[in-house]
C-alpha cells in the first residue's frame, strides 16, 4: 500500500505511544494491509523475545571499576586511545600535524642524510644487541621529600639511579642532585 | 553375641584401612616447591671517602665492579655489606632488607617479546615503609644496575640489582 505508515510509527503504535486517534488509524490500516500486519507481527515477536532476555548479573566490584572508567572518560570529554592503536601521525607534534607541507622538505633532507650516513657506515647494530639498551630506566619516581636522578655511563652500558633526600628548606637539591659528579 | 563379633570385625577392618592409608601417605614424596622463574641478586655496597682510583672489596662481584668503574663516581672505597640472592616468580614481589632499616622490594616481569630481557619494578622503602624511590628497569639477564643512595658528603650506599636465569636443575645461579 502506498500510504503505509513509516516503521517508526508502527513501533510507536505497538508501544502505545500514539494518541487515540492516531492509534485507531494505524490499527485500521494494519487490518487492511498485509505488509504492515506482518511488520507489526515481527516487531511483536522481537518484543516478546526481548522480554525473555535477562541482563547478566555483574559483580559490584566489576561494575565499580567500569563506572570509574566511564566517569574518567566523561570528565576528560574524550575516549582514551591506547598508544598501540594510535596512527603514527598522531604521535607527531601538533605543529607538524597542522602544517605538514612546511615540514616535508626538512624531513626529506634528514631522511636523505640518514640514508647517506647508513650507506657510508654500514648496517647499524640491532637494538637487542646494542649495549645502550641493556639497562634502561623506564620510569623513575622519587617519594615525597626525595629527589631521583638517572645518569648513564659514557659508553651507555650502565644506568645509575640516585635517590637523595631534599633538604626541608629547599624544594630541589642545589645542584640538581646529579649522580654524575659526587 | 554375633552382633558384637561383627562390630569387632568392622573395627579391625577400619584400623587396617587406616594403617594402609597412613603407610601410603608416608611413602608419598613431599610436595615440590614451584620452580622459580628467575633469581634476583642484590649486592649492597658501602661507598666511603674520595679517591682517584677506588678500592674494591674482593668480595665485590666482577660484573658490578666493572659497572661501577664505568660510572663517574668519585668514592674511594667500596665495601660489601651484603649479597642477597632470592628465587623469584614473575609478577610476585621479593623483599630485601637493607641498612638503615630500608627495604628494597623487587617485582620482576617477563618480557614476552624478548626472552633475554626482564623488567624489574623496584621500590625502595624507608624505615617507616614509605617509598623513597619507585622505578622500573628493562634489562638483560645477568646485567646489574646500581641504585645510589647518598648518606653524607662522602658516604653512600650502592645497591647492585640484577636478574639471573635459574640453572636448569634448580634455583642456584
- Which of B72, B143, B150 minimises the CB distance to A180? B72
Out of A10-14, A120-124, B72-76, B136-140, pick the least confident: A120-124
Are A154 and B73 a contacting pair at CB < 8 A? no
Task: List, as one string, the DSSP characters of B88-127.
Answer: E-TT--EEEE-GGG-EEEEEEEE-SS-TTEEEEEEEEE-T
**Is residue A83, in this structure, part of any structural domain at all?**
no
Number of domain units in chain A: 1
**Is residue A24, in this structure, part of any structural domain at all?**
yes
pLDDT, position A175: 47
Q: Which residues of B touch A135 (CB under 8 A)?
A: 137-140, 143, 145
- Cβ neighbours of B54 (radius 10 Å): 17
Domain coordinates of chain B in residue numbers?
1-31, 38-164
> For residue A84, what is the DSSP state?
G
**Is residue A47, in this structure, part of any structural domain at all?**
yes
Model confidence at A77: pLDDT above 80: no
> Which residues of A lie inside 8 Å of B (Cβ-Cβ)?
128, 133-144, 146, 148, 151, 153-155, 157-164, 179-182
How much of chain A, in percent, has pLDDT values that exceed 70? Answer: 45
- Which of B75, B136, B149 minimises the CB distance to A163? B149
Are A163 and B146 a contacting pair at CB < 8 A? no
Model confidence at B94: pLDDT above 50: yes
> For residue A127, what is the DSSP state?
T
Are B148 and A160 a contacting pair at CB < 8 A? yes
**Contact criterion met (CB below 8 Å) for A161 and B146:** yes
Which run of H or of E encompasses B132? strand B131-140
How much of chain A, in percent, has pLDDT values that exceed 90? Answer: 4
Are B137 and A160 a contacting pair at CB < 8 A? no
Minimal-distance CA residue of chain B relative to A150:
B147
Q: Which residues of B touch A158 (CB under 8 A)?
A: 67, 70-71, 145-146
Residue A12, domain extent: 7-52
Task: Give strand pairing partners of B110.
Answer: B118
Model confidence at B14: pLDDT above 50: yes
Minimal-distance CA residue of chain A relative to B138:
A136
Model confidence at A34: pLDDT above 60: yes
Minimal-distance CA residue of chain A relative to B160:
A160
Q: In whole angstroms, what is the distance from residue A162 CA to residue A173 CA? A: 12
Beta-sheet pairing, B145-152 with A159-165: parallel
Which residues, 6+ apart, have CB-to-CB distance to B137 below 8 Å?
A: A135, A136, A137, A138, A159, B119, B120, B122, B145, B161
In this prediction, the answer to ipTM > 0.90 reads: no
Closest CA of chain B from A136, distance in Å: 5
Return the C-alpha cell found at B161.
Answer: 640489582
**Is residue A17, in this structure, part of any structural domain at all?**
yes
User: What average pLDDT score do residues B17-25 get?
Assistant: 64
Return the C-alpha cell found at B143.
Answer: 646485567
Amino acid at each position: 500500500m502506498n500510504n503505509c505508515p513509516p516503521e517508526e510509527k508502527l513501533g510507536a503504535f505497538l508501544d502505545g505511544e500514539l494518541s487515540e486517534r492516531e492509534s485507531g488509524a494505524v490499527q485500521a490500516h494494519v487490518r487492511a494491509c498485509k505488509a504492515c500486519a506482518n511488520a507489526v507481527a515481527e516487531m511483536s515477536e522481537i518484543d516478546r523475545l526481548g522480554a525473555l532476555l535477562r541482563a547478566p548479573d555483574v559483580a559490584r566490584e566489576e561494575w565499580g571499576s567500569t563506572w570509574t572508567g566511564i566517569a574518567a572518560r566523561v570528565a576528560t570529554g574524550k575516549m582514551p586511545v591506547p598508544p598501540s592503536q594510535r596512527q603514527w601521525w598522531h604521535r607527531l607534534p601538533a605543529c607538524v600535524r597542522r602544517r605538514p607541507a612546511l615540514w616535508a622538505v626538512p624531513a626529506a633532507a634528514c631522511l636523505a642524510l640518514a640514508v647517506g650516513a647508513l650507506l657510508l657506515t654500514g648496517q647499524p647494530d640491532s637494538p637487542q644487541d646494542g649495549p645502550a639498551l641493556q639497562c634502561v630506566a623506564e620510569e623513575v619516581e622519587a617519594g615525597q621529600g626525595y629527589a631521583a636522578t638517572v645518569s648513564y655511563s659514557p659508553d651507555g652500558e650502565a644506568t645509575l639511579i640516585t635517590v637523595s633526600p631534599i633538604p626541608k628548606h629547599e624544594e630541589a637539591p642545589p645542584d640538581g642532585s646529579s649522580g654524575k659528579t659526587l | 553375641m554375633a552382633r558384637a563379633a561383627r562390630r569387632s570385625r568392622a573395627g579391625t577392618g577400619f584400623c587396617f584401612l587406616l594403617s594402609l592409608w597412613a603407610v601410603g601417605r608416608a611413602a608419598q614424596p613431599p610436595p615440590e616447591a614451584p620452580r622459580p622463574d628467575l633469581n634476583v641478586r642484590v649486592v649492597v655496597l658501602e661507598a666511603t671517602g674520595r679517591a682517584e682510583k677506588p678500592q674494591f672489596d674482593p668480595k665485590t662481584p666482577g660484573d658490578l665492579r666493572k659497572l661501577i668503574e664505568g660510572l663517574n663516581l668519585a668514592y674511594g672505597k667500596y665495601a660489601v655489606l651484603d649479597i642477597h640472592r632470592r628465587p623469584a616468580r614473575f609478577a610476585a614481589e621479593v623483599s630485601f632488607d637493607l641498612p638503615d632499616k630500608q627495604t628494597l622490594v623487587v617485582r620482576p616481569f617477563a618480557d614476552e617479546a624478548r626472552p633475554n630481557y626482564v623488567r624489574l619494578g623496584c621500590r625502595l622503602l624507608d624505615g617507616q615503609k614509605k617509598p623513597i624511590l619507585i622505578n622500573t628497569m628493562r634489562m638483560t639477564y645477568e646485567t646489574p644496575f646500581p641504585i645510589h643512595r647518598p648518606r653524607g658528603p662522602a658516604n653512600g650506599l650502592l645497591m647492585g640489582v640484577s636478574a639471573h636465569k635459574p640453572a636448569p636443575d634448580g634455583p642456584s645461579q
